[in-house]
A and B are shown apart, each in its own frame.
Chain A
Amino acid sequence: MIKRHAIRLTPLMLLSLAWPVAAQQVDEDLPDESYAAEIYAVEAEDVDPAAYATLAREGEGDVWSCASCHGAKGQGNGNIPRLAGLSTGYIAKQLHAYAEGVRINHNMQYVATKLTDDEMLGLARYYAEMEAPSNAGPALGGDLDRGQELMIHGDWDINVPACYSCHGSSAWGVEQAFPSLAAQQPAYTYAQLAAWTDGRRNNSPLQLMQGISHALSDADRRAVADYLATLPAPPAEEPTP
């Protein structure tokens, strides 16, 4: 099994940063977890997502096709997540997280350990630049009013900020690190909220999601997962010029 290491900022990587304003701010001691998504997105500018379409659709050797589980349009199904419209950096970061074992899922770990870094970036862009309507809907019997309350206001009695205050006003995500939640499969969203609490997922910047998932009751998790499934799907990420 190939052990992949957390990304390290190297002088070469610094040079690859496209914007001088940003580059002057980046130090070598930046923590990986918080910046990984943004760094992968910069790296992904050099890969051509079209070159990885076959890998996504048909697989290759030991690597199963993404589409065999996530669907031809990347919409997901059941507890298989939607990928279409997630940010490039977020998807790439998750693939690395599976390969590194900080996200536990046997199927994804099997696949991710066989992918090269470039394949991860290419597949990430392929799905980020895909736009597909929602095929999700409430499925967990969650209280949609409570879900909307958590999305828009949060619940400060239990120290839970509104979902939108990090994931955006339409829950379409914010730049690279904060993924879209809209039109996500509710069983998947629910499973992630559980995974942050029980340690199967351990890659949230500043452990932000751990704190939130600890605070949410089972009913809250079902409510918010079902509510997010009612929202329109995110737009495709704009291709890098």
Chain B
Amino acid sequence: MSHSDQDPNTQRDPGRTTPQRIVIASAVAAVLVAVGAAIYAAGIFNPIAQSPDRDADRGEQIARQDTERRQAWLAERKEYTADPKATPPSLPVAETGYFIPNDVADAPDNQFGDSVRRGYEIFTNTQTNASQHVGNGMNCANCHLGAGTVPGSAPMWAAAVEYPAFRGKNKIINTMEDRIHGCFTYSMNAQNSPSGSPPPRDGDIYKDLQSFFFYMAEGAPLEGNLPGRGYAVPPEPEDGYSITRGETVFENNCAVCHGTSGEGRRDPNGRWIFPALWGDDSYNWGAGMHRVNTAAGFIKHNMPLGQGGSLTDQQAWDVAAYINSWERPADPRQLRDGLTVAETDERFHEHTPNFYGDEVRGDLLGDGIPGEPTAQQPPSIGAPRHSQQASR
């Protein structure tokens, strides 16, 4: 180093005693510490220590803020219950404006809490926890991301307050149990499950799932029509949608996870990780997702995973059309009512954009034979890492 650095070691100042030198050294040290503390406190190190483009622990900040807002809402509610003249509680909403659902981790330690937790387990791992009634590779949470919490991904806190309701699909008043029964019938393709049917009516699967939904929705107004509910369908593009363009969108954005044949992928434990988008392991022709508009809404807001909103409306419609232009398990209503594909098309598929009953690539869509055992999983390009033992 420089000469001056060595001066204190080589030259003694005859005018100062040792205690004086100690005092001076201590004072200098104290000043240095104070300057360092001030720099630290001013936070000007943060831009150096952290990338400037992200906030420190933003996830933790949001979680804490949401918890505080729910607690404030609970306090308001308590006050209002005790005194009807008090201000009624307002809706517990996050900074984003969306409803803040209860966190399952906070479910009470009692029978109801147990039911909530079971419902959560069924919802997130339907393959295992409702295995007798699932006839494909799907889990509830595949289409309701974040275990049914994410706005724009048909969150269950929004759905829970919308039933009973009349549904055009079956033209009756549907309770939430009816709605879940429908999910198992179509989206989970129960006709091909070990039991051959959705969970028996009034059974625990319905009760636990409803407890789970109900708990998340605590504080949401009945028929609240909350923002973030369902899949907001982007406007249909002026030039319509194209299977051919959709194929390109699929190859560029979807196939890395779902496979080039839409076959989905399993992990070394045999568990489905990326759901099949068509074929025997996917949702059947009666599921809402087979409609191009519904799938476009889901895709636009949620796909690719973690990059929701990155596709244009046109791309979302095109790729939704491509995915739904392939064969999938039969519409259970065809078998139930003993109909031909043409009759089923006319009765159940006429009023929505879909390819049921159409001839695409020379194949009549909808004529898959239901109830057959799942065909052997077609391997994706490249070697599967492990033998893919079925998990069910």
Contact = CB atoms under 8 A, between A and B. Distances in A.
B305 interface: yes
Contacts of B62: 157-158
A44 to B, nearest CB: 8
Contacts of A156: 145-146, 149-150
A211 B51 CA distance: 14
Contact of B257 (A17, A166, A235, A237): A166
B146 A154 contact: yes
Contact of A197 (B51, B57, B265): B51
Contact of A173 (B59, B380, B381, B385): B385
B50 interface: yes
Contacts of A237: 385-386
Contacts of A172: 267-269
B64 to A, nearest CB: 11
A41 B383 contact: yes
- Sort chain A's interface into a size bin: 35 or more
A15 interface: no
A157 B94 CA distance: 10
**B251, B273, B306 interface centre (most CB from chain A within 10 Å):** B306
A51 interface: no
Interface of A: 17-19, 21-23, 25-27, 29-31, 34-35, 37-39, 41-42, 45, 87-89, 146, 153-161, 164-166, 168-170, 172-178, 197-198, 205-206, 208, 211-212, 214-220, 234-235, 237-238, 240
Contact of B57 (A30, A166, A217): A217
Given A172-B267, A206-B307, 4 more contacts: A41-B382, A155-B59, A174-B274, A215-B59
Interface string B226-248: 00000000000000000000001
B268 A173 contact: yes
Interface string B315-330: 0000000000000000
Given A31-B252, A168-B273, A157 B383 contact: no
B200 interface: no
B59 A158 contact: yes
**B49, B260, B385, B387 interface centre (most CB from chain A within 10 Å):** B385
Nearest to A20: B378
B381 A19 contact: yes
18 contacts: A21-B378, A22-B382, A27-B251, A29-B251, A30-B260, A35-B255, A156-B150, A158-B59, A170-B268, A170-B269, A173-B267, A174-B385, A175-B385, A214-B51, A215-B54, A217-B60, A234-B268, A235-B386
Given A34-B256, A208-B306, A217-B54, A174 B266 contact: yes
B384 interface: yes
Given A168-B271, A206-B253, A235-B386, A158 B379 contact: no
A54 B306 CA distance: 42
A31 B251 CA distance: 8
Given A217-B54, A218-B56, A39 B382 contact: yes
SS class, residues of chain B in contact with chain A: loop
A144 to B, nearest CB: 15
Given A30-B251, A219-B57, A175 B306 contact: no
B224 interface: no
Q: Which 8 residue pairs across A and B have the least CB separation, nearest first?
A: A38-B382, A168-B267, A34-B256, A22-B381, A156-B146, A157-B62, A25-B260, A217-B57
B108 interface: no
B50 A25 contact: no
A161 B268 contact: no
Interface in B47-68: 49-51, 53-60, 62-63, 66
A89 B382 contact: yes
B261 interface: yes
A166 B273 contact: yes
A203 B257 CA distance: 15
